[in-house]
Amino acid sequence: MTKIANFPPATLEWKKTNRGLHIPVPEMDEHASAPLTCYPCKAKDMQAIALPTARVPQWETRAVEKLQELLHKYRGLQVYLDICAQCGACADKCQFYLGTGDPNNMPVARANLLRKVYRYYFKRMERFAGAEAEPFNEEVLREWYTYFYQCSECRRCSVFCPYGIDTAEITMAAREIMAAIGVATKYVTEVVAKVYERGNNLGIPGPAWIDNCQFLEEELKAETGKDIRMPVDEVGADVLLVMPSADNFANTDTMMAYGKLFYALGVSWTTSTYANEGGNFGLFLNYQNMKKVNRRILDAARELKVKRVIWGECGHAWRAAIYTNTLNGPMDFLDPPHPVHICQFTADLIQRGAFKIDKTANDDVLVTYHDPCNVARAGSLLEEPRAMIRATCNKFVEMPANTIREKTFCCGAGGGLLTDELMPIRMAGGKPRAEACRATGATYLATPCAICKAQLPEVMKHWNVGVKVGGVHDLLSKAMIL
């Protein structure tokens, strides 16, 4: 049962050691709240994304059949289910276990929820030898729906697993099985449905997208005195930029930074009202929808006859983008014929001296950097964002070594958890990142991820850390001399 420990912030004191930060695990309060779960999906959204609109007949049997299908399709899944030694090396590595103290949020325990069903149907000798096993039933489904949506698929536990078990693959399999029988969350399914209807996760209509781009052009004119364009649906542009749609309506400093970047380079670019979203919530639901959402970007690139596609500041967008050639490739009509992240693009140009930069423009802040899980662990972008920060700021400090790069903590709301009904879980899961940030004394927290930019301000406010959260390109925007 998911329960949130009833503790004031002061009871989770973090102690600095020569190995980084020690994170004590809170003790559970016997009077803690009832399990927290996501709101269930709506029939109209499930229909829009080609999933059952209600629990299918004989859903227990269908779930087992889907598990068998995934075991054959993803051989790594079977390996991960078979080789776990139950050593517990991952137990205290998950921010949700650290935040909630709930044993079922240990990665090994969460994975065992699926592993026990796997053993019951496909490992009967182990079952007869005494290994934990159970049939798929209503109680098991309830546990799956609770705990596999308290996993952000961040893969931090995998870094510490001596066997390299990718627990996120187990979470993804469990969610795909549930989706196949008509069980999913409102947040994730609603977002995917909006992409098919409007082209983006926020459900922004095309005219509103164009209108806001024009508004940002006016803002840039007032700021710089220059005619910096924010083009939309322009055929023949050099670059199609697919950023998170939040950049155009919430993280507007980042959006304007993109405009300054391409203006300074003299490179033509465009966004697309058909596919103006880099994020891919199919990654948090099932393979078919991840593939379909991704295909829309290549379709837009062909329609607009662009030379290359660049993904903006978003973590899971980049993780899904990496699979593009496998999902919908080849990308041989583009140059280069593979996904490019905006931080890769910009860091390379900075190294080649493409911009005039005044680093003193950012002297009013002490900057630290948050590695988004899907940018760092899943996307291998470790140095490029840091190179950008060092090139644009005089004052930069890293968080403690055991909380950055491949060992980074999740912000606490990735994996389809950025939803209001999970706010206590999100705040508990964000505690490790908040305390790592507090340890730096920084006043500006840079991160190239839209979900992190939505979650971390709430986390920092909740845990009383006085830091502003913003994009990496925001710093370039301030320091760039046009």
DSSP secondary structure letters along 418-436: -SGGGHHHHHHHHHHHHHH
Q: How far apart are CA 378 and CA 364, in angstroms?
A: 33
415 and 339 housed in the same domain: no
In the β-sheet with 444-446, what is the strand arrangement from edge to edge? 367-369, 444-446, 468-470
Name the domain boundary from 154, 183, 212.
183
pLDDT in tens, 204-227: 999 999 999 999 999 999 999 999
241 and 336 housed in the same domain: yes
Residue 338's beta-bridge partner residues? Answer: none
201 and 342 housed in the same domain: yes
Mean pLDDT of 420-446: 97
| Tokens, residue 465 | 């850390």
Instruction: Residue 471: give its domain's CATH number.
Output: 3.40.50
Residue 46 located in a structural domain: no
Q: In the prediction, which pLDDT does 211 show?
A: 97
211 and 331 housed in the same domain: yes
Name the domain boundary from 348, 370, 401.
348
What pTM, to 2 d.p., does this model score? 0.91
133 and 274 housed in the same domain: no
397 and 315 housed in the same domain: no
344 and 363 housed in the same domain: no
Main-chain dihedrals φ then ψ at residue 413, nearest 5 degrees? -140, 15
* CA-based R_g, the chain, Å: 23
Residue 8 located in a structural domain: no
Q: How far apart are CA 32 and CA 425, in angstroms?
A: 13
- SS3 at position 17: strand
Residue 5 located in a structural domain: no
Name the domain boundary from 320, 348, 376.
348
Strand extents, DSSP E, 38-128: none
Q: In the prediction, which pLDDT does 34 show?
A: 58
| Tokens, residue 432 | 């490790």
Residue 343 located in a structural domain: yes
177 and 232 housed in the same domain: no
384 and 324 housed in the same domain: no
For residue 317, which amino acid is it? A
Residue 1 located in a structural domain: no
CA 309 and chain centroid, separation: 20
Main-chain dihedrals φ then ψ at residue 327, nearest 5 degrees? -70, -50
Percent of the chain residues topping a pLDDT of 70: 93
Q: Is the dihedral of CA 395, 396, 399, 401 positive or negative?
A: negative
pLDDT in tens, 311-348: 999 999 999 999 999 999 999 999 999 999 999 999 99
CA angle (91 as vertex; 411, 29 as ends), nearest 5: 80
Q: Enumerate residues 6+ apart whose C-beta is below 8 A from 420.
A: none
Residue 452 located in a structural domain: yes
pLDDT in tens, 119-152: 999 997 777 777 789 999 999 999 999 999 999 9
pLDDT in tens, 380-411: 999 999 999 999 999 999 999 999 999 999 99
pLDDT, mean over the chain: 92
CA atoms within 13 A on the CB side of 405: 8
417 and 303 housed in the same domain: no
Q: In the prediction, which pLDDT does 127 show?
A: 74
- Number of domain units in the chain: 3
Answer yes or no: is pLDDT of 32 > 90. Answer: no
User: Domain span at residue 161?
Assistant: 52-183
61 and 162 housed in the same domain: yes
Q: b/e string for 174-195 if b means 16 or more Cβ within 10 A?
A: bbbbbbbbbbbbebbbbbbbbb
Q: How far apart are CA 115 and CA 122, in angstroms?
A: 10
Q: In the prediction, which pLDDT does 128 show?
A: 72
DSSP letter, residue 282: G
pLDDT in tens, 37-80: 999 999 999 999 999 999 999 999 999 999 999 999 999 999 99
- 269-270 and 367-369 strand pairing: unpaired
Q: How confident is the model at residue 276 (pLDDT cuts 50, 70, 90)?
A: very high
437 and 328 housed in the same domain: no
Alpha carbon separation from 251 to 171, 276, 449, 453, 474 (Å, rounded): 30, 15, 10, 8, 9
Instruction: Residue 130: give its domain's CATH number.
Output: 1.10.1060
Mean pLDDT of 343-361: 96
